[in-house]
Structure 1
Amino acid sequence: MPVEASPLAADIETIASPAMWGITVAALLLLLALDFLVTRRPHEVRMREAAGWSAFYLALPLAFGGYLWASSGSTVSVEFLTGYVVEKSLSVDNLFVFMLLLSAFAVPVELAQRVLLYGIVGALVLRAVFIALGAAALQSGTWAFLLFGAVLLVTAVKIFRDALSGHEKKVDVSCLRTVRLVRRFMPVTDDYRGSRLLVREGGRRALTPLALAVVAVFATDIVFAVDSVPAVYGVTDDPFLVFATNAFALLGLRALYFVLQGALTRLRHLNHGLSVILAFIGVKLVMHWAHGIWAGVPEIPTPASLAVIVGVLATVTATSLHAGRRAPSSPLTPPPGDPDPGPARPAEHRPGRPRTARRTSSGSRP
């Protein structure tokens, strides 16, 4: 039986007018500019400052969800909040990798938030590209739902297998292709030069280790976008809502990193939960595709999806805390700003030659 394109595939509806898109993008740029002003003067981020910014960036999506409820109805608002919860949970897993990269590059504590901010900007640009591609795929036919579902199911299996293995994970940034490529074409200084990415040394331009750290973060952003965008399209097919959920989830990552810096290593079951969430959304997308072929296939309503996602996150948080009390995990390589309980770094190590950081949690996304 040939697959017929559904009305959704032929004409994707969106709640956003061109004016609303313009206002949203302008507000996003304003918030990013504010973040750059905050990080303009390198400084160590204290818990009070990080908690304040985290509360601010948590209040924004809640207020936006209330606005959507008043202007577009409860269905749209619940779709946005569900997508936001999905993206935020995936973003917390991103912070694990960011922590490892900052440690591997020996990024000074006062520069950590600038690297994170560059990573957020890169992630927003990449998500916008993937969202546009996803919308184009949905317009071409219902096969896109099947493709998105397959991507999420494969990712879920990979995460779950990594989580079950329990093997110590490593991030060797010197093996990253992007870093090796940059080193091939540009010299790199042996030490950091404040917040500068490019300097002139010996009559020629050279990158600083900070630039390599940013490149590594950008490279991981590409991987994260592959499963994050399809996951939100499993909740809502409105490109505007997909973009808004990604933007709100990413904006608060800089501050959230410093709030959760110590707690991240204790969420040992987070990847188990993420694999369940991605598998659930993957199944939902496949069922949506099958419903377009045969109406007898049921669809999972968005409120039920929200309940499942919140329930899974609450469960893995509780089990992680319980497991941590019973058998505390070995500590992660101390991130920048944390006291290093081990011996001092050998004198021959140079920040320009990144270290290998290890992670003892249950794996990370591919």
Structure 2
Amino acid sequence: MGETSNVGNAFEGAPMSIASPMLWAVTVAVLLGLLAVDFWLTRKPHDVPMREAVGWSAFYLALPMGFAGYVWLAHGGEAGVEFLTGYVVEKSLSVDNLFVFMLLLGAFAVPAQLAQRVLLYGIAGALALRAVFIAAGAALISSGSWAFLLFGAILIVTAVKVLRGGESDVESMRTVRLLRRVMPVTSQYHGAKLTVRAGTKRSLTPMALVVAAVFLTDVVFAVDSVPAVYGVTSDPYLVFATNAFALLGLRALYFVLRNALGKLRHLNHGLAVILAFIGGKLVLHWAHTVWPQVPDVPTSLSLIVIVVTLAVVTATSLLTKPARV
């Protein structure tokens, strides 16, 4: 058996990892290949039918399950459970991200046939940002146990914000306002093009603005997401893998859930509970390194709490009748 990832090993220098340089190289190559296939499939804009979306969603669900089996067999049950728990956390947060993407697509009146290309730009940007945040998180963990206290505080504050809700005003985003000042913006979409030439000047299209808005929200998502999965495992490779697998299937999942997302009215409550739980787990882990008598929450318990919470909020959302206006 290979070495297993363990949060408690994070303080003996750099966080331990199950991944060899070859495994990292293969993983990145497969990831880039899947992104290339997705961009090739969306080269001709079209509204995604349910059958196509369900098929790709099933594929992107089978992929991490197969990978979890590999991790379990090659690196031990502990690493396998850490990956599965981290994947469930990241997938849950990615569903919440879909709500925001839905708002952005509606705010910019994105044509249905261009929605999947916008989502792909968002996924590619999110993966790049997560890689940066994951590396920064690994560096923080290597510097001492205080990093877990910091991550825990971030997640608890985020849980409160998620519970309170609130929507962003697209036009108030600084990136969008800056783009409007730097370059003129056309009034209509020009397919998937980000810029077009109008006479002697080059102008941005609304597509460029919505992509910029999606990238901006990706930064916020990364700030919440990376500390959450570091609450499950300190292995940078597993952290990256959970993020990658959760994000890859986001485009297809959007088209499967776009009609059902509005019915999951209690999802924010569940995500707030999950983030607060993981935040508390990180704080306890920091306390455990200082005072060994403080209990450390096992990853298996985390997985049970997360799955039960998601099941409860899904059931209550579906069973609760919408309020009459």
Deviations 1:230-284 (A, max 9, x none): 0000000000000000000000000000000000000000000000000000010
Determine the structure 2 residue equivalent to 1:274: 271
Determine the structure 2 residue equivalent to 1:30: 33
Aligned with 2:319 (options 319, 322, 325): 322
Provide the C-alpha distance between the structure 1 equivalents of 2:19 and 2:117, rounded to a whole number of angstroms.
32
**Pairs within 5 Å for 1:1-366:** 8-9=10-11, 10-162=13-165, 169-323=166-320, 326-327=321-322
Provide the C-alpha distance between the structure 1 equivalents of 2:77 and 2:53, rounded to a whole number of angstroms.
32
Determine the structure 2 residue equivalent to 1:336: none
User: 1:158, CA displacement in angstroms?
Assistant: 1.6
Query: Given the two structures, how large is their TM-score scaled by the length of structure 2?
Result: 0.96
User: 1:161, CA displacement in angstroms?
Assistant: 2.8
Deviations 1:40-70 (A, max 9, x none): 1101100000000000000000000000111
Match for 2:10: what amino acid? L
- Unmatched 5+ residue regions in structure 1? 1-5, 163-168, 331-366
Higher helix share: 2
User: 1:328, CA displacement in angstroms?
Assistant: 5.5
Q: Residue 52 of structure 2 aligns to a residue in which SS?
A: helix
More divergent stretch after superposition (25-34 vs 196-205) = 196-205
User: 1:214, CA displacement in angstroms?
Assistant: 0.3
User: 1:327, CA displacement in angstroms?
Assistant: 2.7
Moved over 4 A (4+): none
Aligned length: 317
Structure 1 vs Structure 2: percent identity of aligned residues? 69
User: 1:202, CA displacement in angstroms?
Assistant: 1.9
Deviations 1:2-50 (A, max 9, x none): xxxx752223110000000000000000000000011011011000000
Provide the C-alpha distance between the structure 1 equivalents of 2:256 and 2:161, rounded to a whole number of angstroms.
28
| Contact 2:14–2:139 (CA under 8 A) maintained in structure 1 | no
Change (3 A) 1:179 1:17: same
Indicate the RMSD between aligned Cα atoms, in angstroms: 1.2
Provide the C-alpha distance between the structure 1 equivalents of 2:20 and 2:151, rounded to a whole number of angstroms.
26
Provide the C-alpha distance between the structure 2 equivalents of 1:32 and 1:242, rounded to a whole number of angstroms.
19
- Looking at both structures, which has the greater relative contact order when contacts are Cα pairs under 8 Å and sequence separation is at least 6? 1
Change (3 A) 1:307 1:33: same
Match for 1:140: what amino acid? S
Change (3 A) 1:304 1:7: closer
Query: Given the two structures, how large is their TM-score scaled by the length of structure 1?
Result: 0.85
Provide the C-alpha distance between the structure 1 equivalents of 2:40 and 2:257, rounded to a whole number of angstroms.
23
Provide the C-alpha distance between the structure 1 equivalents of 2:125 and 2:272, rounded to a whole number of angstroms.
25
Provide the C-alpha distance between the structure 1 equivalents of 2:47 and 2:156, rounded to a whole number of angstroms.
40
